[in-house]
Amino acid sequence: MDAQRHLVVVGGGMVAQRLVEALRDRDGDGVWRVTVLAEEPRRPYDRVALTSYFSGRTPEDLALGDAALWDDPLVTLVRGDAVTAVDRATRTVTAASGRTHRYDHLVLATGSSAWVPPMEGADLDGVFVYRTLDDVAALRGHVTALAGERTVRGVVLGGGLLGLEAAGALDALGARPTVLQVDTHLMSAQVDLGGGEALRRLVNRLGIGVRTQSRTTRLLPHRTGGVGRVELADGTRLDADVVVVAAGVRPRDELARAAGLPIGPRGGVVVDDTCLTDDPDVSAVGEVACIRGACIGLVAPGYTMAEVTVDRLLGGGAVYPGADTATRLKLAGVDVASFGDAFARTPGALEVVWADPVGGVYKKLVLSDDARTLLGGVLVGDATAYASLRPMVGRELPGDPAAFLLPEGGTGAPELELPDDAGVCSCNNVPAGAVRHAVAEQGCHDLGAVKACTRAGTSCGSCLPLVKKLMATELGKLGVTVSSALCEHFALSRAQLYDAVRVAGLRTFTEVLERFGSHGRGCDICRPVVASILATTAPAHVLDGERAALQDTNDHVMANLQKDGSYSVVPRMAGGEVTPEGLIAVGEVARDFGLYTKITGGQRIDMFGARIDQLPLIWRRLVDAGFESGHAYGKSLRTVKSCVGSTWCRFGVQDSVALAVMLELRYRGLRSPHKIKLGVSGCARECAEARGKDVGVIATDKGWNVYVGGNGGFTPRHARLLAEDLDTQTLVRTIDRFLLYYVRTADRLQRTAPWIEEVEGGLDGVRAVVLEDSLGICADLDEQMARHVADYEDEWRATLDDPDKLARFASFVNAPDVPDPSLAYVPTRGQVRPATPDERAVLVAGTTLEVRS
């Protein structure tokens, strides 16, 4: 029998993560087990998104891929133990802890380190690099500590991609940054002088200073210690409370050097197109690899190398296809992209430039000498065309190239029909054909499904607009309507209609139809939508006036329609809490009306088999026993599930039941685009399964963590962290805003998970809206929720008090006391169930009933 082989990966960065993921994906027979030796004390994280750490993201949000990868028995991750030596003769590596690991194959994925130019003062306090989470956390700590005392002046050494990210981060922390660039313009490795100038103007607008052709000679201490000034080659001195060095990176090739492997002229472990070094048992991937003569500081080529290596380990013949060095910088208010031959180095290349200095826009396309084939481009200020142009590199552009540079809404660029083999997502190497196939053949009809199926857009997300467009085009070919119009009666989407109705202050369906509809009297699509919108913009009882005619039968009779036309009844048991008396009352009702009872997933009791005419009788009993509607029938809050919490549990740190009851009573009856479920767990053990809910709250010893966007069902999702360690008041306010923002902007029947994916800015956008009030709507949302809480009434109790409403529950308008003769039940496991058609044929024969005439 072949012994299992051992792969050792040195380095725990993004490329290592991808390599392990690809290996476990493809090595179904478990030929390889893999050990990853990471220097940092954490799992691989999304280094590309480091800057987002400043806009409130936590280390957990930077997690990559599926965390289950690291639970795989064939995968071992050793954290916080840097490898110190490689012995190729014995095929072992030794780590700082003294532990050794024998390998059958070794992959060096040690990445790069930030390069600090040799200069006086580089070791002063307050001088940082920008590479790891720890670097970024230290920078944040330093600036936050100083910010209390004065305006913090920051200087960033380096005007490249990373330098601008660092400047953006300083800006987000409230510091006043200045970028010092040695070269003639910003991002000189990616954009030309014209683009660099446009970029400088954009960056200036953000309040970030820029000095080009400025070489720093030394850093001078402040009299109170720490860095105080930066001195430039021309003698200028700038005040600086914090300095971030972003002058470039150097490959971490020291292990390879010591092991005697060939090193490139500018560093890096030399590898061939199969990513193998000089030693057939050692590969190198990512930024440490010198491939085709250069190291590449981008993640996408690293991913490609990881895939090539895995293919080779499994006996495949993959070779490195060359790097796509396209880059895009995304800072608030600054949009820059560069792709292909951005500097027109191809002989005979032509440049088409469009610049709008006032608008801060500079765009350039590089074309072949016949002005037909796209070779590359630079987009500054408006890089929306990036996603569709980048895959066209090396291909003929249809029509006049200039059309692609003009602002949106101008003469309009021709629709680009991407060839199937054109890459769409470079992070995950997904061609256009794969997206089309997912839509046409694999039944993926929304963005979430396409992402899950193809992995396109799951890393940096910059290709999502293109993926969406491809999907829409493909759906169009399938005859699936992709118009956002609600139905034939309303050209608006649900979100648009919500705003329109709210702003216009309309109160009835007829008004809404007259004002915003096109013709007719609505349908089973738009009527419930308008009912749901009016429920939060102009609250009233579900059966009041014209509203009654808008409700689905569930909302109309306030019970859940079952397959035979009977209904089920669910009284609220907030937080899953119920008294013995309550249980007895429910039991008696079920027994007296012959109802089948079952415990629901939301910690309450469902009673089945109630006829429409029995519903008021059942509810009279339930209301008298102190129960109220559980809204199990509504597109509204269902339940807030909880574990027993700190009052009883040995492990609980907070009173989860009390919070769950409070939240359920707060949001009960809130009508929404789809059902909403909440969960509260009293400790990190998470017994309430809160992360499977639209809003999940998990107790910490400092307060509450809140997660959003979870659900079970067809596409289960885990909720993602929205905010940490909130006190109860802040938590409630955050959930208030989250729910109402969802209610206002989600599509019909769209749950929170897909909504978060599609709403402006994704989860970060939601966080900005609900925590930082980036849209300025929070006061309005708070007021709307306060009104919901104040106006709440139990709709069943209100119905029982109103004879007109009760008249709707008659079985027959001409025989109100005659039960529906078509219903029939047979016993099963001590209760009843609806009879099958065959059973019913016997049971319901020859009904004779008196009819009023």
Partner 1 sequence: MTTLDHPATTWLTVCRLHDLAYERGAAALVPDEAGGLPVLTQVALFRLLDERVLAVQQHDPFSDAHVMARGIVGTRRVADLDVPTVASPMHKQVFDLGTGRCLDPAGKEPAAGRSPDLRTWQVRVVDGDVQVAVGGGPS
Contacts with partner 1, residue ranges (CB under 8 A): 488-489, 519-524, 526-528, 546, 548-553, 556-557, 561, 563-565, 612, 807-808, 810-815, 818, 820-822, 837, 846-849, 851, 853
3-state secondary structure of 130: coil
Q: How far is the CB of 545 from partner 1 (least distance, A)?
A: 10
Q: How far is the CB of 833 from partner 1 (least distance, A)?
A: 15
Q: Residue 284 class from Cβ within 10 Å (0-12 exposed, 13-18 middle, 19+ buried)?
A: buried
Q: How far is the CB of 438 from partner 1 (least distance, A)?
A: 21
DSSP string, 509-521: HHHHHHHHB-STT
Q: How far is the CB of 814 from partner 1 (least distance, A)?
A: 4
In angstroms, the CA 823 to CA 808 distance is 19
Residue closer to partner 1, measured from CB, 309 or 554: 554
Q: How far is the CB of 807 from partner 1 (least distance, A)?
A: 8
Residue closer to partner 1, measured from CB, 583 or 841: 841
Residue closer to partner 1, measured from CB, 468 or 556: 556
Q: How far is the CB of 542 from partner 1 (least distance, A)?
A: 12
Residue closer to partner 1, measured from CB, 729 or 853: 853
Going by DSSP bridges, is the β-strand pair 560-561/596-599 parallel, antiparallel, or unpaired? unpaired
Q: How far is the CB of 390 from partner 1 (least distance, A)?
A: 39
Q: How far is the CB of 827 from partner 1 (least distance, A)?
A: 21
Contacts of 532 (CB under 8 A, 6+ apart): 635, 671, 672, 673
95-130: string of b/e by CB count within 10 Å (b at 16+)?
beeeeebebebbbbbbbbebebeebebbebebbbbb
Residue closer to partner 1, measured from CB, 296 or 526: 526
Q: How far is the CB of 669 from partner 1 (least distance, A)?
A: 21
Residue closer to partner 1, measured from CB, 527 or 666: 527
Q: How far is the CB of 535 from partner 1 (least distance, A)?
A: 16
In angstroms, the CA 177 to CA 194 distance is 23
**Two tokens, residue 31:** 């030929």
Give the closest residue to 377 by CA, choosing from 415, 412, 339. Answer: 339
Q: How far is the CB of 532 from partner 1 (least distance, A)?
A: 13
Residue closer to partner 1, measured from CB, 223 or 563: 563
Residue pair 107/7 in contact by the 8 Å Cβ criterion: yes
Residue closer to partner 1, measured from CB, 556 or 572: 556
**Two tokens, residue 440:** 């046409």
Residue closer to partner 1, measured from CB, 437 or 808: 808
Q: What angle do CA 465, 470, 472 make, to 5 degrees?
A: 95
- Please provide the distance, in angstroms rounded to a whole number, between the alpha carbons at the two ends of the chain: 88
Residue matched to tokens 């106006």: 791
Q: How far is the CB of 562 from partner 1 (least distance, A)?
A: 9
Q: How far is the CB of 615 from partner 1 (least distance, A)?
A: 12
Question: How far apart, in Å, are the Cα atoms of 439 and each of 418, 423, 715?
Answer: 15, 17, 17
Residue closer to partner 1, measured from CB, 531 or 623: 531
Residue closer to partner 1, measured from CB, 440 or 807: 807
3-state secondary structure of 334: strand
Q: How far is the CB of 819 from partner 1 (least distance, A)?
A: 11
**Two tokens, residue 715:** 């596409």
Residue closer to partner 1, measured from CB, 813 or 842: 813
In angstroms, the CA 502 to CA 533 distance is 8
Residue closer to partner 1, measured from CB, 224 or 847: 847
In angstroms, the CA 618 to CA 628 distance is 12
Question: How far apart, in Å, are the Cα atoms of 24 and each of 76, 172, 254, 715, 823?
Answer: 12, 39, 29, 23, 54
Encoded amino acid at 433, one letter: G
* Half-sphere CA count of 687, side-chain side, radius 13 A: 15
Residue closer to partner 1, measured from CB, 790 or 813: 813
In angstroms, the CA 585 to CA 627 distance is 9
In angstroms, the CA 112 to CA 290 distance is 12
Q: How far is the CB of 850 from partner 1 (least distance, A)?
A: 9
Going by DSSP bridges, is the β-strand pair 5-10/32-37 parallel, antiparallel, or unpaired? parallel
Contacts of 470 (CB under 8 A, 6+ apart): 418, 424, 432, 435, 436, 439
DSSP string, 534-589: HHHHS---TTSGGGGGGS-HHHHHTSEE-TTS-EEE-B--GGG---HHHHHHHHHH
In angstroms, the CA 393 to CA 680 distance is 51
Backbone angles phi, psi at 709, to 5 degrees: 90, 25
Backbone angles phi, psi at 224, to 5 degrees: -90, 10
In angstroms, the CA 755 to CA 769 distance is 14
Residue pair 751/694 in contact by the 8 Å Cβ criterion: yes
Q: How far is the CB of 566 from partner 1 (least distance, A)?
A: 9
Residue closer to partner 1, measured from CB, 503 or 851: 851
Residue closer to partner 1, measured from CB, 437 or 541: 541
Contacts of 245 (CB under 8 A, 6+ apart): 114, 115, 116, 117, 122, 127, 128, 129, 130, 157, 158
Q: How far is the CB of 525 from partner 1 (least distance, A)?
A: 9
Residue ranges in 109-205 assigned as alpha helix (H): 133-147, 161-172, 193-205
Q: How far is the CB of 541 from partner 1 (least distance, A)?
A: 14
Residue closer to partner 1, measured from CB, 459 or 636: 636
CA–chain centroid gap for 766, Å, is: 10
Residue closer to partner 1, measured from CB, 540 or 815: 815
